[in-house]
Chain A
Amino acid sequence: EAAVTQSPRNKVAVTGGKVTLSCNQTNNHNNMYWYRQDTGHGLRLIHYSYGAGSTEKGDIPDGYKASRPSQENFSLILELATPSQTSVYFCASGDALRGRVAETLYFGSGTRLTVL
């Protein structure tokens, strides 16, 4: 069973601080994603990646950066955290041909971020 590990599980940050959320998968999947989930909005795509060195903007990228230094790791960076970024963040990975969507996505357990 493919595993996606997110860290930390919970994070409390202060407004204006820098936050890095990490995601690791050892399944050699090409595609990785960062979503946030808020009540009333479902999952919204922030950034995604096709492989090492690749980052693509999703539907709500403002205020977020992403980094894919290797096949296994995909980070989400909030340079200047704001209270509106309080949410649950999910990372996902899937194996697909370059530029295509995977038929099966594997999600991490989520990171609950609170920005005070």
Chain B
Amino acid sequence: GQQVQQSPTSLVLQEGENAELQCNFSTSLNSMQWFYQRPGGSLISVFYNPSGTKQSGRLTSTTVIKERRSSLHISSSQITDSGTYLCALNNNAGAKLTFGGGTRLTVRP
């Protein structure tokens, strides 16, 4: 089965609402990363967060290893936040990064 599962698969928000994206994993964890992908575009690193909570502007990532989950919280969403958010884990197997299926976020005015 899939090692990394993301939920929801898609999410539609009104501008200004908050978003909570989840990433659950079934294997051991060395590190967790979050990426953002614009529609039809490349990927950009958002967070490297092996454990605990990290914040950058309106984005907050929390990884709880013993619960095998990581989350990405987006506060006061903006139209420009629209795109796909992907989590990826490294499970101590060298430099391998395994991605989840992604959450497609649409923020409407």
Chain A interface residues (CB < 8 Å from chain B): 31, 33, 35, 40-45, 48, 50, 56, 58-59, 90, 92, 96, 99-110
Say yes or no: B100 contacts A48, CB within 8 Å: no
Whether A99 contacts B99 in the complex (CB less than 8 A), given A42-B86, A104-B48, A109-B41, comes out as no
Q: Which of A44, A107, A108 has the most CB of B within 10 A?
A: A107
Say yes or no: B48 contacts A103, CB within 8 Å: yes
Whether A43 contacts B95 in the complex (CB less than 8 A), given A101-B90, A107-B44, A109-B42, comes out as no
Say yes or no: B48 contacts A58, CB within 8 Å: no
Say yes or no: B101 contacts A41, CB within 8 Å: yes
B45: A residues at CB distance < 8 A: 104-106
For the side of the interface on B, what is the size category?
20 to 34
A105 contacts which of B30, B41, B96, B97 (Cβ < 8 Å)?
Answer: B97
Which residue of chain B has the shortest Cβ distance to A43 in the bound complex? B99
- Count the A-B residue pairs with Cβ separation under 8 angstroms: how many? 64
State the Cβ distance, A110 to closest chain B Cβ, in Å.
6
Say yes or no: A45 contacts B42, CB within 8 Å: no
State the Cβ distance, A9 to closest chain B Cβ, in Å.
11
A50 contacts which of B43, B90, B95 (Cβ < 8 Å)?
Answer: B95
Say yes or no: A96 contacts B96, CB within 8 Å: no
A40 contacts which of B94, B95, B97, B101 (Cβ < 8 Å)?
Answer: B101
Return the 5 tightest CB-CB contacts between A and B, nearest first: A103-B48, A42-B101, A43-B99, A101-B90, A107-B43
Q: Is B31 an interface residue (CB 8 A)?
A: yes
Say yes or no: B96 contacts A48, CB within 8 Å: yes
Q: Mark B75-109, 1 if CB is under 8 A from A, else 0.
A: 00000000000101010001111111110000000
Which residue of chain A has the shortest Cβ distance to B9 in the bound complex? A40
Say yes or no: B97 contacts A33, CB within 8 Å: yes
Complex: A59 Cα to B42 Cα, angstroms = 21
Say yes or no: B95 contacts A99, CB within 8 Å: yes
Q: Is B61 an interface residue (CB 8 A)?
A: no
